Amino acid sequence: MSSPRAGVEPSRERIVALVLLLQRAFTDNRPLTQDEIVRDLKIDEYPATSRSPKKVGAYLGNDTAVRQKFERDKARIRDLGFQIETVVRPDDLVGYQIDPSSGYAPPIHFTPQENRVVATALGFCGFGKSGAFSVFNDGPAGDGGLEFSAFLTPAIRAIKVRRAVSFEYQSSVRKVRVVEPLEILHEGGTSYLVAREVGGGMIKGYRFSRMTSMPVVLDERFVVDEATRGLAASWRPQYQRRPTPIDVVVLTNRDYADLLVRQYDGAVAAAKKDGRVEVGITFDSPHGALRFILEGAERVRLVNPKTLLKELKEWLGHVNRGKSPAAEDIKFPALASGDVLGQTLQLLHAVYNSEDGLRVSELAKRFSLDPDLVRSIMGRLVTLEPMVDAFDGAMAFPARVIKDCDDWDHEDTDDSIYRAEFVSDDDEPSPFMWRDLFELNVALREASRLFEDPAIFSAIEKIEEVTSHFMRIEYPHNEQLLSAVYEAVTSREQLKITYNSASSETAEERCIEPSEVKVLNGHTYVRAFCLTRNDWRTFRVDRIGTILAKSLITDDRGTDPVSNWLTAVGEEGDEVVVIVERYVRYLFEPLPGAQWVSLADGRHAVRFHVSNSTFLDHLMLLAGPGAVVATEKFATAGHDLADRIASQL
């Protein structure tokens, strides 16, 4: 659990007070100057000397230090997705304000049935500790799901108001892009901003994971015609501008052929006299065809086309070969600390959306926080009156939080209740951030593949009505057994299945007892107790061949010893550093816990953990000439695998 840290509290209260104050300045149409804010913004005294601490100035110190602190606070607020507007007032002074709609979406009221399916969907799809999960669920968020990004908030806002955005982006080089955003595409676990280059240029897609600065919504508006909308709707992640369809024929075994026919639409198979199976598949581009062959590794032998055979031979000769700096000479940046502003607003959001309020213990469990830290954060919100002398106090301030104690004599340890009290019946709870709606939409659409419930689609309809259908989600078509697996979880059924592992050539029978289903990086996984291995195992649903039999579970297997089983690969095993060219960076970006740094020669270094060398061999095979391992222990990763495949050609 997170614990209080020295120096956090004054910074936390100052930033939260500034956010809420500048939102109120917009509502009151009274932008505040920097001098007014510095002079009048009040926070509690630190350290507190009494149960009711006195108010002191938020910005103390000499003029230079105060100005620097104020600029840092503004930058941190922008990094959460709020747009601080600079306005010239009638008195010719420069004032600041925050339009709440720049960060918050309009309120959405879910029915009890919709709340139920939202909570279930978020549990299935995840979203991590910074996402929407903890607002709807009693327990802390687990692993899995969509990569959280604060960059979604301004991007979605810009799409809705039809304004250009500017952001720094890492591709071959890092540079600022100015684009006209059209929609967001979520495909294969990756989110893209589909946008037009300013001035009627090309339609391109930008990965949110490669944005290196918060998108800024510009004043310039743009117009979109139906033809442009159609182009944006047809955009797909491709690795060449004009994809050329290509027919591929491979030889494989019966088990893997059955898997391919399920995974690829339009695939056809024909048995040969020697017991092998010939499979034909059409791909959109030569790149897609080559990657298919590489993913099959030793399980497939390429028959046609011959032009692809030549390209494959050349590729195999360059797997993990090239120069790289020593791994110990590469300096990765320190991991970012927790975001105190985002953490505080999440707690505030949860309290605002709870009719009866929430106890300290409930908030601590939901957000994986130390109870003392919850008391500290919420206690400051209770007493928050940032400009009490200049305005009319807390009754008119947005963050009106009431604290109810069971034992006021032991307030410091009491499991107090925090609830929101609104000045009038017309007041609305603090609405969702735009990115929250993005997460909810993805989770609900993923859940709709598991079970049918009218509440799922009515909740989606409410979200898309607010967001003006800003998002497009491409579903995987290779998980036909997903509903059956999920039913086994809910009905406590034991399944006898055939399963193709990542590297095995033939399918093998397994007897499993599924316990949980989650999504990560575009694939669905099931955690199960495997009776064949007599241990807990994780299975990819699209690699399950058939369900041979099912029966009710009769034995208790106890608690799974691995809590974050889906991302355990990101926490365990050997540390590996790989140097990658920008065009294969996408292969490594989905790795849980991966850390990145740019090198002077334009390449990128990525650090991650691997629990077995076979996984790294296949990863380096897919990366080909675009990557080389810098860690000495794994300097030959992928070599033997590439040689074995080449010997079959």
Q: Are 77 and 132 part of one and the same domain?
A: no
Confidence at 450, pLDDT banded by 50, 70, 90: confident
Q: Are residues 52 and 138 in the same domain?
A: no
Q: Is the pLDDT of residue 393 over 50?
A: no
Predicted pLDDT of residue 66: 87
pLDDT at 485: 92
Please state at what angle helix 613-623 crosses helix 286-296, rounded to 10 degrees: 160
The answer to whether the Cα torsion of 560, 564, 568, 572 is positive or negative is: negative
pLDDT tens-digit map of 232-249? 988 888 654 556 789 999
Residue 375 falls inside a structural domain = yes
Please report which confidence band the pLDDT of residue 539 belongs to, taking 50, 70 and 90 as the band edges: very high
Asked if residue 6 has pLDDT above 50, the reply is no
- Yes or no: say if 102 and 434 are a contact pair by the CB < 8 Å rule: no
How far is it, in rounded angstroms, from Cα 160 to Cα 265?
Answer: 34
Confidence of residue 204 (pLDDT cuts 50, 70, 90): very high
Is 347 inside a domain boundary? no
- State residue 27's pLDDT score: 78
Q: Is residue 500 part of a domain?
A: yes
Residues 606 and 623 in one domain: yes
User: What would the pLDDT profile of 146-159 be if each residue is shown by its tens digit?
Assistant: 666 778 889 988 99
Per-residue pLDDT band for 392 (boundaries 50, 70, 90) equals very low
Q: In whole angstroms, give the CA distance from residue 624 to residue 604.
A: 15
In a domain, 343, yes or no: no
Residues 61-89 have a mean pLDDT of 86
* Distance (Å, whole) CA 46 – CA 56: 9
pLDDT at 303: 92
pLDDT digits (tens, 9 = 90+) for 576-594: 999 999 888 888 887 877 8
- Whether 640 has a pLDDT exceeding 60, the answer reads yes
Instruction: Mark 371-392 as b/e (b = at least 16 C-beta within 10 Å).
Output: bebbbbbbbbbebbbbbeeebe
Peptide bond before residue 47 is cis, with ω within 30 degrees of 0: yes
Confidence (pLDDT) at 388: 46
What does the mean pLDDT of the chain come to?
A: 83
Q: What are the pLDDT digits (tens) for 485-506?
A: 999 999 999 999 999 887 677 7
Contact 340, 15 (CB under 8 A): yes
- 109 plus 227 within the same structural domain: yes
Residue 513 pLDDT exceeds 90:
yes
Residues 601-626, mean pLDDT to the nearest whole number: 90
The CATH number for 521's domain is 2.30.30
Q: In this predicted structure, which of 33-47, 114-128, 158-172, 417-431 has the lowest mean pLDDT? A: 417-431
Closest CA to 350 of 623, 150, 181, 119: 119
Q: Is residue 201 part of a domain?
A: yes
| Residue 384 pLDDT greater than 70, yes or no | no
Range of the domain at 278: 250-316
Of 536, 544, 452, the closest CA to residue 501 belongs to: 544
pLDDT over 90, % of the chain: 31
Residue 395 has pLDDT above 50, yes or no: no
- State percent of the chain over pLDDT 70: 87
Most confident of 265-269, 313-317, 558-562: 313-317
> Which pLDDT score, from 0 to 100, does residue 394 have?
36
- 3-class SS at 262? helix
Asked if residue 588 belongs to a domain, the reply is yes
Which DSSP symbol is given to 332?
A: P
- The burial of 12, by beta-carbon neighbours within 10 Å (0-12 exposed, 13-18 middle, 19 or more buried), is given as buried
pLDDT of residue 129: 60
Indicate the number of domains in the chain. Answer: 5
Residue 17: predicted pLDDT:
80
Q: 17 with 383: CB under 8 angstroms? A: no
What is the per-residue pLDDT for 391? 45
Supply the CATH number for residue 641's domain: 3.30.70
Do 109 and 209 lie in one domain? The reply is yes
pLDDT at position 616 over 90: yes
Q: Is residue 261 located within the same domain as residue 239? A: no
Q: How many residues does the chain have?
A: 649
Domain match, 215 and 129 both: yes
Cα gap 619→291, rounded to integer Å: 11
Token pair recorded at residue 187: 């495909």
46 vs 48: CA distance, rounded Å: 5
d(CA 459, CA 110): 7
Contact of 607 with 614, CB cutoff 8 Å: no
- Asked whether residue 161 is domain-assigned, the answer is yes
**What is the rounded CA–CA span in Å between residue 158 and residue 162?**
6
Beta carbons of 38 and 70 less than 8 angstroms apart: yes
Q: Which of 30-34, 46-50, 195-199, 257-261 has the lowest mean pLDDT?
A: 46-50
Confidence tier at 619 by pLDDT (50, 70, 90): very high
Q: Are residues 116 and 241 both part of a single domain? A: yes
* Single residue among 563, 597, 613 that ends a domain in this structure: 563
H helices of 329-404, where?
Answer: 340-352, 360-367, 371-383
The residue type found at 443 is: A
Residue that terminates a domain, selected from 563, 590, 618: 563
If asked whether residues 151 and 236 sit together in one domain, one would say yes
Residues 468 and 492 in one domain: no
Q: How far apart are CA 520 and CA 289, in angstroms?
A: 24
Span 130-144, pLDDT tens digits: 677 777 877 777 776
Q: Closest Cα to residue 438, out of 78, 157, 138, 113?
A: 157
Region 550-563 average pLDDT: 88
Query: Phi/psi of residue 209, each to 5°?
Result: -70, -15
Q: Which residues contact 245 (CB under 8 A, 6 or more apart)?
A: 282, 283, 284, 285
- pLDDT of 466 strictly over 80: yes
Q: Residue 333 domain-assigned?
A: no
**Angle of helix 8-27 relative to helix 371-383, nearest 10 degrees?**
40
Note whether 573 and 640 are same-domain residues: yes
Closest CA to 480 of 419, 386, 533, 547: 547
pLDDT at position 337: 46
Q: Are residues 238 and 255 in the same domain?
A: no
What's the whole-number mean pLDDT along residues 463-491? 82
Last residue of a domain, which of 510, 541, 563?
563
